[in-house]
Amino acid sequence: MRHDVRPLGVALAAAALLLTSGCGARPLSELHESESGKQQGPDTAPAADKAASVINAIKPDPALTAALPSRIRSKGLRMSTSEGYPPMEMFAADQKTIVGLDPSLARAIARRLGVHMTVSNEDFNAQIPGLITKRYDMVMTSMTDNPERQQKVTFVDYVLAGAAYLVKKGNPTGIQTPEDLCGKTVSVVDNGSSLELATGYDKACKAKSKPKINVLKFPGDQDALLAMTSGRAQANITDYVVAAFRASDPKTGSEAVPIIGTESPWGIAMNPTEKPFIDTVRKALQSLITSGDYQRILKAWNLDKLAVKSAVVNGGK
């Protein structure tokens, strides 16, 4: 679940894109002006960013700017992500500009800090090593904050995400809880965390002497979705962010139902040796939460259910 164990279909698509894109930072000629580092001062969100109007209205906080390391005040903020996990990070229609909730929030933070921002596109597995070797200042790529990763990096948590049922619009079979799946058919990506959830829910049904769950396993995310939309399955279990993205397309005729209890924090990964900088970023995010800009950005991406109430450090347990 989530970025590090994304559904197989999404992972394969991401891998294919990484192979074709060279798995690294893009040439400056392919970057949006705000990503190139040529632009000085607060960053301007590209038009393809669904939250552009909210981001571009954010005013810098001079106190936060003054608290930044001098290298960031002079050269800007270097953010890294791993494109290929919509709607969190993906290419816009021009196939060059990276958009999604993660770059939106990063741009909003950069504006509050009063600096411009560059974006690198790296393989997911290269993110933490790149942070430790100081190739970037922060990583925002749907990364789960957990104790294992806290041994290497420090997180400023910015969303709380879990799994979801993707069901037909209006939820005609009334699926809200795992128990509602007893006696029904669900589709999942084979060998993923969604399969683990479905298998566990099936055991719980049997333990309560209720009808078993018929689990349909598919090699890819698209096939699992088709099983639900065609009526072969009453629900598709997947990541909430994936479900919300699917549901935002009217052609799917679907809606996302969060699975309560599966949530965990996703964090902005930062170099643990830079404690004052970490606290400055946490304060910038908190100011966006307090002002309501944070919630408006999430809503622009149809991900407002991921909202946290406050910005905390290393909240993953």
- Would you kindly state where each structural domain of the chain is located, as residue ranges? 51-161+265-313, 163-258
Q: Chain-centre distance of CA 283, in angstroms?
A: 20
CATH number assigned to the domain with residue range 51-161+265-313, chosen from the 4 options 3.40.50.2300, 3.40.50.880, 2.60.40.10, 3.40.190.10: 3.40.190.10
State percent of the chain over pLDDT 70.
87
pTM: 0.79
pLDDT tens for residues 48-86?
999 999 999 999 999 999 999 999 999 999 999 998 888
How would residue 104 be classed by pLDDT, with cut points 50, 70 and 90? very high
* pLDDT of 16: 35
* pLDDT of 40: 60
Alpha-carbon distances, residue 84 vs 58, 95, 100, 238 (angstroms)? 27, 11, 10, 16
CATH number of 163-258: 3.40.190.10
pLDDT tens for residues 264-279?
999 999 999 999 999 9
Q: Do domains 51-161+265-313 and 163-258 have the same CATH topology?
A: yes
* pLDDT of 20: 32
Alpha helices in the chain (DSSP H): 8-21, 33-36, 52-56, 62-67, 70-75, 101-113, 127-132, 147-150, 193-207, 221-229, 240-247, 275-291, 293-300
